[in-house]
Amino acid sequence: MTSISGQPTSLLFGCQSIGSVHEKIDSNEGLFGTVLNVFDKAINIKTNDDMLLVVGLGQVASPLTMNVFPSASSAVCFRSFTDFVRNGDHVSVAGKNSSKDPGIVDIAQIQLGSKSAILMSKPLKLFENHILKPDLENLLKFSESREHLLSVLTECATDRAGSLLNPDMTTEGLLPKFMNLSHDLVLDAKSSKFEERLSRSLIGFCGRGPGFTPGGDDFISGALSVFNWIRLGLNLGSPIIPSLEYRKLTSWTSFKLMESNAQGLVDIEVQDLINSIAEGDVLRYAEAIKHIAKRGHTSGIDFVTGATIATCLSIDGIVQSR
């Protein structure tokens, strides 16, 4: 629909894929959630059941994401989600029937405020994680490559001012302080207090750093996604999930991303990063670092910094216990 001035007054999208967390979105008609944050190419939605749904134009699939594309009639006029969606807009779901069987609803419409909607046609392309189990011998292949991986991280951080490896006043000293504690954490890896001590050490990063998702939160996400994957896969202990204490220190969206990553809900590119560890492929892991490090201003580099340090600390703990 177009106004008299020639500017569009509404926009229609198609659903390209949806993450496993929101697989049943079309079965709950009525109010679904509220728009929290709107960017040019992405929208963050807080659902009624306190989950994060990210609606995005990108091709990176994740369990939390609905990947969409403007319809043919809307593609020409679309510039930014901010032209059509506002913070606080209600998000609702309505079923549509296009089949001959009146009992089957095969299209759902997700209404984003009053000016934008997404049509979801069944069958939906579903993304769910397929992460390999860690292999001890392959994991140990990374032991001799830490200097190389550190150099890759350092190079990627040179144009990422404010990141943990290239700190500003908001992140100064965070990483050295954590690394000073890491020796005790490694020695304590099999004790019942390990989870508590690691969580207490990581919380110092929470809410720290520039960006919509603070760099410290991205570090926590990367670290816990790998720590928990290794701990569960090698039966070293239970997963460490950010507590409500973390929630008090950062935004709801950033907390939900940390919580989800800690639970093993990661996007397809991070999944490939983790699977390269599982297969002992250091070169592939280094290439994944370079790719993910480009995200945002510091989000990507801080995430892979956390993931790499978690890998190295886990290896140290395993070697110490042998």
pLDDT tens-place string over residues 116-151: 999 988 788 999 999 999 999 999 999 889 999 999
Return the DSSP state at 207.
Answer: T
Residues 150 and 294 in one domain: yes
Regarding whether 161 and 291 lie in a shared domain, the answer is yes
Q: Specify whether 51 is located in the same domain as 187.
A: no
Are residue 122 and residue 151 in the same domain, yes or no?
no
Residue 264 domain boundaries: 136-321
- Do 73 and 95 fall within a single domain? yes
Residue 2 within a domain: no
Note whether residue 3 is domain-resident: no
Q: Which of 127, 159, 180 is a domain's end point?
A: 127
Strands 116-121 and 11-19: parallel
Q: Looking at the domain assignment, is residue 182 inside a domain?
A: yes
Q: Decide if 99 is inside a domain.
A: yes
Q: Report if residue 241 sits inside a domain.
A: yes
Can you tell me the distance from the alpha carbon of 18 to that of 175, in angstroms, rounded to the nearest whole number? Answer: 35
Is the same domain home to 105 and 33?
yes
Residue 293 lies in a domain: yes
Same domain, 52 and 147: no
Distance CA 55, CA 62 (A): 11
Q: Which of 87, 104, 127 is the last residue of a domain?
A: 127
Q: Where among 92, 127, 162 does a domain terminate?
A: 127
pLDDT tens for the chain, residues 1 to 322: 443 334 445 789 999 999 999 988 877 789 999 999 999 999 999 999 999 999 999 889 999 999 999 987 776 678 899 999 999 999 999 876 555 555 545 788 999 999 999 998 878 899 999 999 999 999 999 988 999 999 999 999 999 999 999 999 999 999 998 888 766 666 566 666 777 888 888 999 999 998 788 999 999 999 999 999 999 999 888 899 999 999 999 999 999 999 999 999 999 999 999 999 999 999 999 999 999 999 998 999 999 999 999 999 888 887 776 6
Structural domain total, the chain: 2
What global pTM score does this model have? 0.91
Question: Do the beta carbons of residue 218 and residue 258 sit within 8 Å?
Answer: no
Q: Mind giving me the DSSP string for 22-71?
A: GTTGGGS-EEEEEEEEE-SSEEEEEETTS-EEEEESSS---TTEEEEEE-
For the chain, report the end-to-end CA distance as a whole number of angstroms: 67
140 and 284 share a domain? yes
* 78 found inside a domain: yes
H/E/C letters for each residue in 223-277?
Answer: HHHHHHHHHHHCCCCCCCCCCHHHHCCCCHHHHHHHHHHHCCCCCHHHHHHHHHH
Phi, psi (rounded to 5 degrees) for 257:
-65, -45
Residues 30, 162, single domain; the answer is: no
